[in-house]
A and B are shown apart, each in its own frame.
Chain A
Amino acid sequence: MINTDIKKVIVLGSGALKIGEAGEFDYSGSQALKALKEEGVYTILINPNIATIQTSEEIADKIYFLPVTATFVEKVIEKEKPDGILLAFGGQTALNCGVDLFRLGILEKHNIKVVGTPVQSIINTEDRQIFSDILHEIDVLTPRSVACDSIEKAREAAKKLGFPLIIRAAYTLGGLGSGFCSNEEELNKLAENAFSYSPQILVEESIKGWKEVEYEVVRDVYDNCITVCNMENFDPLGIHTGESIVVAPSQTLSNAEYHKLRSLSIKIIRKIGVIGECNVQFALDPNSEDYRVIEVNARLSRSSALASKATGYPLAFVAAKLGLGYGLHELKNSVTKVTTACFEPALDYVVVKIPRWDLNKFEGVSKTLGSSMKSVGEIMAIGRSFEEAIQKGIRMVGGGMHGFVGNKAEMEITDIEGELHNPTDRRIFAIAEAMEKGYSVEKIWEITRIDKWFLQKLHNIYELKNKLTPFNTLAELPVDLLLLSKKQGYSDFQIARLVLKNPDTSIQADLLKVRAHRKSLGIVPVIKQIDTLAGEYPALTNYLYVTYNGSEHDVTFQHDNKSVIVLGSGAYRIGSSVEFDWCSVNAVNTIRKEGFRSIMINYNPETVSTDYDTCDRLYFDELTLERVLDICDLEQPLGTVLSMGGQIPNNLAMRLHKQGVPILGTTAEKIDNAEDRNKFSAMLDRLDVDQPRWSQLTTIEDINRFVDEVGFPVLIRPSYVLSGAAMNVVSNKDQLHHFLTLAAHVSKEHPVVVSEFIENAKEIEVDAVAKNGEIVAYAISEHVEFAGVHSGDATIVFPPQKLYIETIRRIKKISRKIAEALEITGPFNIQYLAKDNDIKVIECNLRASRSFPFVSKVLRTNLIEIATKAMLDVPFEKPDKSLFELDYVGVKAPQFSFHRLLNADPVTGVDMASTGEVACIGENFYEALLKSMLSVGYRIPKKTILISSGPTRGKIELLESARMLKERGFTIYATGGTHHFFQENGIETEQVFWPDENDKQPNTLDLIKNRKVEMVINIPKDHTTREISNGYNIRRNAIDFNIPLITNARVASAFIYSICKLDLENISIKAWNEYK
């Protein structure tokens, strides 16, 4: 029976998106909250991730934008006095916090029941020794392993087990600190690293090369168990499942293997005592039915979100209900509404997940894939053949790829064998290249151990390419072959490139020729429904995908001018993440409320926008021109919304417009006017609006001439990047020369944009909504950092606290001019530079920006709702709220994931590097900043700090901070220049030596490695190579030894001010709706 004592619960969220813990927890948390609400349970959500859907008023009853740590959660518990707490929906962050709350006795003290899996069960799965002991009790095999608490013990264990071995750190996220080693030297290195994350490490037998298979298992209070989905990794064991291509259901397992692992999963979940959902990962011998259990996650996970989307089974929703005491058989299948939730979905399609990496964004990072996770997002592709699904998937990942074959020669892979042996983010293309070079399936298998079934399927795609290329015109291309290519997932683009073979400049026209040709032959795709039961029962939801492997649509199309299509944001990546999902979902909600039929196109399994009940129709499919046109042909919508999903839909504007697709809001021509640098610049000149001087140049001589004119530093944006980041600021001729010769390419074909870079300027953002060129709502926010830090990496304050009234007035005026000139209808964002009262426009985007959820939530005015109404041309109330009357402040802080990106330099710059963000609200700037920074993992230092303050400006900025710390009894360690500067200004510091002065003590690196400092402040000063490498070593070691690091002087001084002036005990614990 269901537990009616639970009337009020706390749900813990997962905080900022980071590598290993991303959007999937917004999805699972939102579902859980929905389920609780349906049961009349009062929900209190703690999550500082302001851009999520779950932190919306209609989802949770009360929301706290606070760090998910025991300290803050206890304060909320004291205030709210809940009956229960849910730990399983906020990833590892919530789980760790739950274990802390349990161990500190906080749950017992306040008599709080854990809803769902008990904490002891969680601990049993997290501590690897307990875990394997428990499994051995029920005769379930785990890799032979030894838990060690010292390097000596690890070496002993290695002798016992024999190399190769895998080293794992306990209690870490997504395989952090894990790796393979094949000799003692490698072991020492790995073990030292693993110990830096955890006091316990595991030395295990290596089963590299085995198949990796996962099961999502559900159990209720009556001990009823189901496995909702199984998934097979394309890559064999050795590559983290978050880094691997994954297919669902498994493809190469026989019935005996499938059900052997299935029944083991159930045996395990029963032993552990999970109530709700858990995930079991297996290694399966490719040559027998031998297996090992690798891991159990007693919580919702990335895999469970994927499984939910892959099957249509709402795992998080069901798990929350089971936590309240329902039996599985007492719940309905939410897709059919007539059958029970106690069943195992039958798929009649195949699903492929592919990770998205953004390793190019980082300086120095290792690109090799291994047992720890580096990807920042993922996509899910659905097809009725593997070939169709994987080719769709490769396009969805982005990065300019068009499928398994038919990509540009630019993806040149010279060391094929090396890439196959040591896979990188280009693994799949290395396989394509190998096939191109004549490697057989057998040979590729020998090197990679990827199951031959997958390789044969890829080979089918490759072979078909060879059948297409002998033809040169569409007329001579056999119809059967064209149809087969479409069934194998070939896009019109690929066919155009392989058959027509024209230069890339005419590809857009050519792909439309292919489209017209195939349509004239009746070669068009069909729409199929995901229904959880493979057609056995009718589905009542419209969860759809597009396929060529079928001859009938599952749905009908009403051409009644009532459908509005919203294009989603695609894979999460650095620069485009959950905030665009929030925008998309809010647009869809508004469309529905206004009586239109909402249609969503998106393919990111981590999102709420791809939940089948978010919209009236969900096309879980590509956001390519071809696919959007296919869907528009069928739906004939009233309009499409391109301004909610970030840059992907925005980039389609002109091409969709030219094909006659109706676009809602700002016209495609105007979007183009803002996107095209020359057109936009000319417009600003006409409007008499200032902008940093810039020029598009094609020779080094021209660049030098331009730099002589504007002076250093300058911002360089090459159109063709050889390596490293795409944008860079250079301060002198050497750097300029270095960058232009080594990192970028300058030529007529690849021009470089050089802009004047204004130092020590404030950066200001305007997020606004206009209708017919008139601004109807806006929010102005300011960056804490000076310009030069990408707006996605900046700490942003709203409302602004330190802007001149005159600056604000000028910004409003310019914004109005631009809105009018571009005849904007809908959301837009303008970025400004302000120095004194000089205002310059940097950029204008005629779409929702990353900061829309932040300002909307702090303002308590939904700018997306207003924007959507403006675009739909329905009446809306113009908010009259004056922005400066807010009695509180919101601060948004970036979340970096450098600890997962081996060797990456943890600095911020003009290109974005953060993977997520949080925002907290406070009584004043410092309180909000402190909460935000604690939310992204900073800890308050108590006694020691290392300061290396970089350029003079940094030293001056930090002088007052140092004084304050000193007054509070801190020991300040400082590197040479900083030490002398502070000393001259009367502040005692301990001098420490640079990493390369390793003969002198104390050395910065020893300080860090021995954890003698609680925080590192290192302000980069890019002058000499020596300082760069010293600075890098300090920063990287701080990350690797898990010591909080700040690299911006203005953020550092604000943080230090906060910790010196504020007492954590007196910090305000207020829910969002208490800020009025």
Chain B
Amino acid sequence: MRKVKLILEDGTVLEGKSFGYEKSVAGEVVFYTAMTGYPESLTDPSYTGQILVSTYPLIGNYGVPADHTENGIHKHYESDKIHITGLIVSDYSVGFSHWNAMMSLGDWLKSQQIPGLYDIDTRLLTKILREKGSLLGKIEFEDQKIDFVDPNLLNLVAIASTDTVETYGEGAYKIVMVDCGVKNNIIRCLINRNATVIRVPWDYDFTTLEYDGLFLTNGPGDPAICTITVKHIKTAIAQEKPIMGICLGNQLLGLAAGASTYKLKYGHRSHNQPVLLKGSNRCFITSQNHGFAIADETLSEGWESLFVNVNDNTNEGIRHTSKPFFSTQFHPEASSGPTDTEFLFDDFIESVKKNKSGK
């Protein structure tokens, strides 16, 4: 068997065993603490450029679901392919069992040329990342040396986004979706609510389109790179049409609202982040996956914080004080993770409806 190591930029070297595609890769090493949903996470475009460390040790248990499509999108995946750069786990389950499984996780990784390592002390790794912040790292097979790569210097959004304009659903409300690396479940959540989704590339000038509401999606990397998207959003917020954003969409709306963003030490990647609706006692458990955040205090006049993270007080969403614009740092579409805040899509569609009928 070829020897393989995970090497971090701080000099940490951990030897593991390969269960995926045998190829050396480099990226940013991040940990996620969710206990279910590896097929969803691996296909989440927000993980582009990242080597993912699962803190939950037993991975692969239920295999990978069959690749069905529904309404033009994959039913069980969050995009067309695996987006992570590599996967690190403690105990890979060779055997798998599920009525819906089509193949093993290892075979899936191999088929998409993504390396995976097991037999690594992922808790040790997590503690390093917690102390030092996310680090650059590489999965290196002994006979295939490579250099570190900082994915945050690349335009990851351009990689994760689409090249073409596509339309989904036949609903009454026309929603333009700026795809910065969208998860399929956002599209599902909208078309299930009587929307027609017009998905456009991240740098597309959607301001020229006819639409009832604007949706800013999740995506990977540093929001500051997406200047062109921010420019388009600035045009949109000068108007009255409802806007909803998620994750990177929250950060982009924040930038358009004059705020600044910064990189968190090690980000939030889990299913158990508590967020409080400002000015209330309502606290929600949310699914999250982000490394950057809005600096609340930099929000300009007319904007306010909507949700706050109860653990570390970071921004979890913003809204306009008078216009129907809001966004969340967390993922109301879940998939994977808890679905407790899916009602926000109802709120959005409701405001679209109101805005449309008000015309």
A binding-site residues for B, Cβ under 8 Å: 222-226, 249-256, 258-259, 262-263, 266, 286-288, 327-329, 338-340, 342-350, 384-386, 441, 451-453, 456-457, 459-460, 526, 528, 533-538, 549-552, 554
Are A329 and B91 in contact, CB atoms less than 8 angstroms apart? no
Specify which of A226, A254, A452, A526 lies most central, judged by the most chain B CB atoms within 10 Å of its CB.
A254
Are B283 and A224 in contact, CB atoms less than 8 angstroms apart? yes
| Main secondary structure on A side of the interface with B | loop
B237 within 8 Å of A (CB atoms): no
Say yes or no: A259-B337 contact (C-beta < 8 A), given A329-B310, A342-B310, A348-B123: yes
Q: With a CB–CB cut-off of 8 A, which chain A residues contact B36?
A: 249-250, 253-255, 258-259
Of the candidates B35, B282, B335, the one whose C-beta lies within 8 Å of that of A347 is: B35
Say yes or no: A350-B58 contact (C-beta < 8 A), given A329-B281, A344-B338, A453-B96: yes
Q: How far is the CB of A488 from chain B (nearest CB, A)?
A: 10
Minimum CB distance partner of B95 in chain A: A456
B339 within 8 Å of A (CB atoms): yes
Q: How far is the CB of A231 from chain B (nearest CB, A)?
A: 12
Within 8 A of A (CB), among B40-97: 40, 55-58, 61-62, 65, 76, 90-91, 93-97
Complex CA distance for A73 and B233, rounded to whole angstroms:
67
Are A252 and B285 in contact, CB atoms less than 8 angstroms apart? no
Q: How far is the CB of A487 from chain B (nearest CB, A)?
A: 8
B322 within 8 Å of A (CB atoms): no
Of the candidates A259, A533, A551, the one whose C-beta lies within 8 Å of that of B338 is: A259
Q: With a CB–CB cut-off of 8 A, which chain B residues contact A225?
A: 340
Are B123 and A550 in contact, CB atoms less than 8 angstroms apart? yes
Q: Mark B300-336, 1 if CB is under 8 A from A, else 0.
A: 0000000000110000000000000000000000111
Are B274 and A453 in contact, CB atoms less than 8 angstroms apart? no
**Interchain pairs with CB closer than 8 A, number:** 173
Say yes or no: A534-B285 contact (C-beta < 8 A), given A254-B36, A346-B272, A453-B62: no
Are A535 and B55 in contact, CB atoms less than 8 angstroms apart? yes
Offer 13 A-B interface pairs, CB within 8 angstroms, sorted by A. A254-B98, A255-B36, A255-B37, A329-B310, A340-B283, A342-B283, A343-B274, A348-B56, A385-B90, A453-B96, A456-B93, A535-B31, A536-B130
Are A348 and B95 in contact, CB atoms less than 8 angstroms apart? no
Q: With a CB–CB cut-off of 8 A, which chain A residues contact B310?
A: 329, 339-340, 342-343
B161 within 8 Å of A (CB atoms): no
Q: A224-B283, A343-B310, A348-B123 are in contact. List 15 more A-B contacts (CB 8 A).
A: A287-B99, A329-B283, A343-B272, A343-B285, A344-B338, A346-B33, A348-B122, A350-B57, A350-B58, A453-B93, A453-B95, A456-B97, A534-B56, A535-B130, A536-B270
Complex CA distance for A550 and B274, rounded to whole angstroms:
29
Are A343 and B61 in contact, CB atoms less than 8 angstroms apart? no
Complex CA distance for A536 and B264, rounded to whole angstroms:
13
Complex CA distance for A266 and B283, rounded to whole angstroms:
14
Q: With a CB–CB cut-off of 8 A, which chain A residues contact B334?
A: 259
Minimum CB distance partner of B58 in chain A: A350
Q: With a CB–CB cut-off of 8 A, which chain B residues contact A459?
A: 95
Are A263 and B37 in contact, CB atoms less than 8 angstroms apart? no
Are A346 and B124 in contact, CB atoms less than 8 angstroms apart? no
Minimum CB distance partner of A350 in chain B: B58
Within 8 A of A (CB), among B185-243: none
B183 within 8 Å of A (CB atoms): no
Minimum CB distance partner of A483 in chain B: B119
Complex CA distance for A549 and B14, rounded to whole angstroms:
13
Are B91 and A549 in contact, CB atoms less than 8 angstroms apart? yes
B273 within 8 Å of A (CB atoms): yes
Complex CA distance for A339 and B98, rounded to whole angstroms:
35
B158 within 8 Å of A (CB atoms): no
Are A534 and B62 in contact, CB atoms less than 8 angstroms apart? no
B18 within 8 Å of A (CB atoms): no
Minimum CB distance partner of A532 in chain B: B272
Q: How far is the CB of A823 from chain B (nearest CB, A)?
A: 46
Minimum CB distance partner of A385 in chain B: B91
Are A347 and B98 in contact, CB atoms less than 8 angstroms apart? no
Of the candidates A340, A457, A534, the one whose C-beta lies within 8 Å of that of B274 is: A340
Minimum CB distance partner of A333 in chain B: B311
Specify which of A223, A252, A535 lies most central, judged by the most chain B CB atoms within 10 Å of its CB.
A535
Minimum CB distance partner of B53 in chain A: A535
Q: How far is the CB of B310 from chain A (nearest CB, A)?
A: 4
Specify which of A224, A225, A459, A534 lies most central, judged by the most chain B CB atoms within 10 Å of its CB.
A534
Q: With a CB–CB cut-off of 8 A, which chain A residues contact B37?
A: 254-255, 258
B112 within 8 Å of A (CB atoms): no
Say yes or no: A347-B56 contact (C-beta < 8 A), given A251-B61, A329-B281, A453-B62: yes
Within 8 A of A (CB), among B87-138: 90-91, 93-100, 121-124, 126-127, 130
Say yes or no: A252-B97 contact (C-beta < 8 A), given A342-B285, A534-B56, A551-B124: yes
Minimum CB distance partner of A263 in chain B: B339
Say yes or no: A254-B100 contact (C-beta < 8 A), given A346-B33, A456-B95, A534-B33: yes
Q: How far is the CB of B235 from chain A (nearest CB, A)?
A: 37
Say yes or no: A453-B338 contact (C-beta < 8 A), given A252-B62, A554-B123: no
Q: With a CB–CB cut-off of 8 A, which chain A residues contact B95?
A: 441, 452-453, 456-457, 459-460
